[in-house]
Chain A
Amino acid sequence: MATATAQTTDTPAQRELERRMLRQMLLIRRFEEKAAEAYALGKIGGFCHLYIGQEAVAVGSLAALREDDYVISSYREHGQALARGVPANALMSELFGKATGCSKGKGGSMHLFDAGRRFMGGHGIVGGHIPLAAGLGFAIRYRGGDQVCICYFGEAAVNIGAFHETLNMASVYKLPVIFLCENNRYGMGTAFERVAAVTDVVEHACSYDMAAELVNGMDVLAVYEATRRAAERARKGGHPTLLEVRTYRFMGHSMSDPLHGVYRTKEEVEEQRKRDPISQLAGKLKEEGVLDEAGLDALDAAVRAETEDAVRFADQSPDPDPAELTTHVLAD
């Protein structure tokens, strides 16, 4: 997760970055497919919100950040966790509720944590983690650091008071936070335009005198570049940025929601699938001769093996000890 400096598309560093991003996106895709299978088999319980279709957002943005930056997300956060480098084993184990999970089976799909990687959680209340991101940014500024905090949330969170209170304060206090709105168009089954008076999320930045950018979330390089610019702004002067990243989830809201349901048409989903961010980047790399079909197959085989390993690892891992029920309620 190095800081990227390359801006042209033909340097070896840039090609390496793109290849790495393709691998991460593929890993997320295959991981989520495995998670869906495991859910159907009853190995994963509760809510499980898949990231399929949105891979370019997590991968592109996190590729632009440093290891000492903070990451915080909503409950649709498997992709961000993987892109941050949380091992697939620890992640799948957490979904299975096992002791070897990244939250030792106490958090589950919606509460993935890896403090060592500064992955500060999945949070389950829509918009509830947005103030936390500003608090992490506050701590960075308090200590005089040049890190940033990136905060992922869906467009539905924009209708929540916490979003507005936080953007105002982040701007007033000049906090180094990147507010990244993943606009996948639907809050569960409600189309954004049905419940939002202002449907361009990016417009909200005006109310808070904040820098903002509208980004194509199906283009991993566009996400990468926009995040790089936002991070630079934050590191230099502690200025927050609102990024509206337009994306689309190919799956239902959660595992209990059918693929397209009654709130969107099959045709719409099919149409969006043509913009698949992974196919787009793979196509570009093939066109540029960076990767051929065999290379792509090998990459895919490698991530499939990694996710199969993760399932095996999770399956074979023990449940938490019953004594874990009452640990970690309070710190010493």
Chain B
Amino acid sequence: MATLTYRDALNQALREEMQRDPDVFLMGEEVGVYQGAYKVSRGLLEEFGPKRIVDTPIAELGFAGIGVGAAMAGLRPVIEFMTWNFAVLALDQIVNSAAKILYESAGQIPIPIVFRGPNGAALQLAAQHSQAWDSWLAHIPGLKVVAPATPADAKGLLKSAIRDNNPVIVLEGEMLYNLKGEVPEGEHLVPIGRADVKRPGRDVTFICHSKTVAVALKAAEQLAEREGASAEVLDLRSLRPLDEEAIVGSVARTHRAVVIEEGWPHAGIGAQVVDIIQREAFDQLDAPVLRVTQADVPMPYNKQLERLAKPSADRVVAAARRVLYLD
């Protein structure tokens, strides 16, 4: 297995799927001549030409809608948003067009499209550029939402997303693009809707996704060192559909859970996960489920304040201590 960055794993997925299927094309700001704002599309213009690697003006609503229209005609567009912060301008097309046309047409017109780009905070980009849209997007029936945390999952989930006959949201991370990891070559598909145990454990389950997987893994190490307690790290990978079986299965083993996400707490992904746990694993619980999220504020610019706002291993450990009744 080759060691690749998350960025190159995504690049490999795009390249392989474009080689495999001539109906797949990539469209977005700076994807071609500039080689991608985050270099995910590096080299693709040279290989596939401007017909399939399409630079757009800064017009998120417009090019997202062009993608949906092309999908109505049976093409398989991959729409890159420079960040999901800008995709808010395109929500009408994602929510009102992509997610609804199959239902409104009673199955006549599927929309096989991928919307992808970095989501959540990077470093000191301030309030408008540091937002996690996970729960907004996962709220919508008609969409699938995935959020890979590792290079291998990035490749496997993007490939599955491109082959899916539905609109699939792929939430990447600016802070993940340089992350290295082993990536299977060639036909590596990660099924949408399956969570993955990134670290097995016995005493508490950390349920996380995307960038918070690294936070949870760090917290699990600290918890083992400081308290001798063993945390299981369950990476959701897919936010819609959620892998209820994996969530319930893990909680049934550990009897305790902390749910971690980059988004705000109110009506977040964690709220949905907690709903599943209280409904399906009520009798298994030995403690209330706690959540660690971004602080319920717009992201501040100041470095110290930003650090305070983000979910951290320290906060996860603190939550774990509470559900383990160590405090």
Q: Report which A residues bind B (CB closer than 8 A).
A: 70, 72, 103-107, 111, 113-115, 120-121, 123-125, 128-140, 142, 161-162, 165-166, 168-169, 172-173, 324, 327-332
The residue of chain B having its C-beta at the shortest distance from the C-beta of A122 within the complex is B104
Known contacts A165-B61, A169-B59; decide if A132 and B165 are in contact (CB<8 Å).
no
| Cβ–Cβ < 8 Å partners of A105 in chain B | 106
Known contacts A139-B74, A330-B144; decide if A129 and B62 are in contact (CB<8 Å).
no
- Rounded to whole Å, the gap between the CB of B120 and the closest CB of chain A is 26
A-B contacts, 25 listed (Cβ < 8 Å)? A111-B105, A113-B104, A131-B64, A131-B66, A135-B71, A135-B72, A135-B77, A136-B69, A138-B66, A139-B70, A140-B73, A161-B61, A162-B61, A162-B62, A162-B92, A165-B61, A166-B66, A169-B56, A169-B57, A169-B63, A328-B105, A330-B144, A330-B166, A331-B110, A331-B111
| Cβ–Cβ < 8 Å partners of B103 in chain A | 106, 328-329
Contact B104 A107 (CB under 8 A): yes
Contact B69 A139 (CB under 8 A): yes
Known: A142-B51, A330-B144. 6 other contacts (CB 8 A): A107-B104, A113-B104, A135-B73, A162-B92, A173-B54, A330-B166
Contact B102 A329 (CB under 8 A): yes
- Rounded to whole Å, the gap between the CB of A324 and the closest CB of chain B is 8
The answer, among B59, B68, B72, B166, for a CB contact under 8 Å with A165, is: B59
Contact B96 A128 (CB under 8 A): yes
What sequence of 0s and 1s flags, for each residue 80-118 of chain B, a beta carbon within 8 Å of any chain A beta carbon? 000000000000110011000111111111111000000
Known contacts A132-B65, A172-B57; decide if A120 and B109 are in contact (CB<8 Å).
yes
| Cβ–Cβ < 8 Å partners of A104 in chain B | 106-107
B142 at the interface (CB under 8 A from A): yes
CA of A125 to CA of B94, assembled, Å: 13
The residue of chain B having its C-beta at the shortest distance from the C-beta of A170 within the complex is B66
B25 at the interface (CB under 8 A from A): yes
The answer, among B51, B66, B74, B93, for a CB contact under 8 Å with A128, is: B93
CA of A273 to CA of B108, assembled, Å: 38
Contact B68 A121 (CB under 8 A): no
CA of A142 to CA of B61, assembled, Å: 21
| Cβ–Cβ < 8 Å partners of A166 in chain B | 62, 65-66
Known contacts A128-B93, A135-B73; decide if A331 and B104 are in contact (CB<8 Å).
no
Contact B144 A138 (CB under 8 A): no
Contact A328 B107 (CB under 8 A): yes
| Cβ–Cβ < 8 Å partners of A128 in chain B | 65, 92-93, 96-97
The 6 closest A-B pairs by CB, nearest first: A135-B69, A131-B65, A165-B62, A139-B73, A104-B106, A113-B105
Number of interface residues of B (CB under 8 A): 43
CA of A39 to CA of B67, assembled, Å: 36
CA of A185 to CA of B107, assembled, Å: 35
| Cβ–Cβ < 8 Å partners of A172 in chain B | 57
Contact B67 A135 (CB under 8 A): yes
Contact A142 B70 (CB under 8 A): yes
| Cβ–Cβ < 8 Å partners of B109 in chain A | 113, 115, 120-121
| Cβ–Cβ < 8 Å partners of B25 in chain A | 142
CA of A136 to CA of B70, assembled, Å: 5
The residue of chain B having its C-beta at the shortest distance from the C-beta of A108 within the complex is B104
| Cβ–Cβ < 8 Å partners of B249 in chain A | none
Known contacts A70-B73, A128-B93; decide if A169 and B104 are in contact (CB<8 Å).
no
The answer, among B66, B111, B144, for a CB contact under 8 Å with A134, is: B66
Known contacts A128-B97, A168-B57; decide if A135 and B65 are in contact (CB<8 Å).
yes
| Cβ–Cβ < 8 Å partners of A130 in chain B | 65
Contact A142 B56 (CB under 8 A): no
| Cβ–Cβ < 8 Å partners of A115 in chain B | 105, 108-109
CA of A99 to CA of B148, assembled, Å: 40
The answer, among A142, A324, A330, for a CB contact under 8 Å with B102, is: A330
- Rounded to whole Å, the gap between the CB of B135 and the closest CB of chain A is 19
CA of A120 to CA of B111, assembled, Å: 12
The answer, among B56, B72, B74, for a CB contact under 8 Å with A132, is: B72
Known contacts A165-B59, A328-B102, A329-B142; decide if A129 and B97 are in contact (CB<8 Å).
yes
- Rounded to whole Å, the gap between the CB of B13 and the closest CB of chain A is 21
The residue of chain A having its C-beta at the shortest distance from the C-beta of B143 within the complex is A330
B122 at the interface (CB under 8 A from A): no
CA of A140 to CA of B65, assembled, Å: 15
B200 at the interface (CB under 8 A from A): no
Contact B102 A331 (CB under 8 A): yes
B31-81 residues at the A interface, CB under 8 angstroms: 51, 54, 56-57, 59, 61-75, 77
The residue of chain B having its C-beta at the shortest distance from the C-beta of A135 within the complex is B69
| Cβ–Cβ < 8 Å partners of A331 in chain B | 102, 107, 110-112, 165-166
B141 at the interface (CB under 8 A from A): yes
CA of A199 to CA of B59, assembled, Å: 24
| Cβ–Cβ < 8 Å partners of B72 in chain A | 120, 132, 135-136, 139
- Rounded to whole Å, the gap between the CB of A272 and the closest CB of chain B is 32
**Which of B101, B102, B106 has the most CB atoms of chain A within a 10 A radius of its CB?**
B106
